[in-house]
Amino acid sequence: MSIALSIDKVGRVVLPKEVRTRLHLKAGDILDAEVGVDEVRLRTRHAALAGLRKAGGRLVWDAPGATVSIAEIEEAIGRGRSERDARSAGL
């Protein structure tokens, strides 16, 4: 997918809704920017979380064509557990 984006006066770029939906992005998500000589590449900080969703009480990988390492999946599961534990503790 290739989309032309513009930069506003203060340097902001808005990702179109179809891109945010496709990548499961929401307000507050963090993107890492890799800057090259004449390019900028954006990557979701928690790529492993982007393809995970809950279905019937289980985590399911739902990102056809996307690749992720075992370490990223384990990290995502660990973060999910930490978030759940924090919610349970009322934090």
pLDDT in tens, 36-82: 999 998 887 765 556 677 788 787 777 666 667 777 778 777 877 88
Split at pLDDT 50, 70, 90, the class of 12 is: very high
Say yes or no: 50 and 90 in one domain: yes
Query: Does 1 share its domain with 41?
Result: yes
Number of domains in the chain: 2
- Are residues 10 and 29 both part of a single domain? yes
CA atoms within 13 A on the CB side of 40: 8
Given a cut of 80, is residue 90 above it in pLDDT?
A: no
Q: What sign has the CA pseudo-torsion 70, 45, 15, 50? A: positive
Is the domain of 38 the same as that of 76?
no
88 and 50 together in one domain: yes
Give me the sign of the Cα torsion angle 86, 74, 65, 33. positive
Domain that holds residue 62: 46-91
Across 30-67, b (16+ Cβ under 10 Å) vs e yields eeeeeeeeeeeeeebeebbbbbbeeeeeeeeeebeeee
Q: pTM of the predicted model, to two decimals? A: 0.48
Range 5-31 average pLDDT: 87
